[in-house]
Structure 1
Amino acid sequence: MSITQHHLLDAHRAWQHGEAPPPAPGTHDQKVVLDWREYRRFRTVVAGRPAHGRIRQALGRRLRPRARSTS
C-alpha cells in the first residue's frame, strides 16, 4: 500500500467517525528537518565541539596540500 493510499484510507475512516482528517503526507517535512538540525547542533554543543564550521574545516583539510618534510 502506498503512502497516498494509506492517507486516503485514514481520511475516509476519520470522515466515517466524524473526526478531522490527518495531515497530508509531507506536510510537516520541512519542520522535521529544521528541528532535527537544531537537535544535532544542541548535541554538538553539549558534547563540547564547535556547533558550526565543521564541514568547512573538513573540506579545508582535504583541499589544502600538506607540507612535506624534506628529511
Structure 2
Amino acid sequence: MDAIQQQMLDSYRAARLGEDPPPLPGRHDWATLRTIRDHWRARRAARPSGPSAGN
C-alpha cells in the first residue's frame, strides 16, 4: 500500500468515526527536514574542535 492509498483509507476511517482527517502525505516533509538539519547543526556546533578534541 502506498502513501496515497493509506491516506484514503485513513480519511475514510476518520470520516466514519467523526474524527479530523489525517494530514496529507508529504505535508510536513520540509518542516521535518529543517528540524533534522537544525539538529545536526547544533550537534556539530556543540562538538569540541581543535587538536586536543580527540584526546
**TM-score normalised to structure 2 length:** 0.83
* Aligned residue identity for 1:8: M
Ranked by relative contact order (alpha carbons within 8 Å, sequence separation 6 or more), the top structure is 2
Task: Map Cα deviations across residues 20-43 of structure 1 (whole Å, 9 max, x no partner).
Answer: 000000000110111110000011
Amino acid at match of 1:10: D
Matching residue of 1:17: 17
* Percent of residue pairs identical: 37
Divergent runs of 4+, >6 A: none
| Cα deviation digits, residues 39-58 of structure 1 (max 9, x gap) | 00011111125xxxxxxxxx
CA-atom RMSD, angstroms? 0.9
Gaps of 5+ in 2: 50-55
So what's the TM-score if we normalise by structure 1? 0.65
1:38-53 correspondence runs (5 A) = 38-49=38-49
Aligned residue pairs total 49
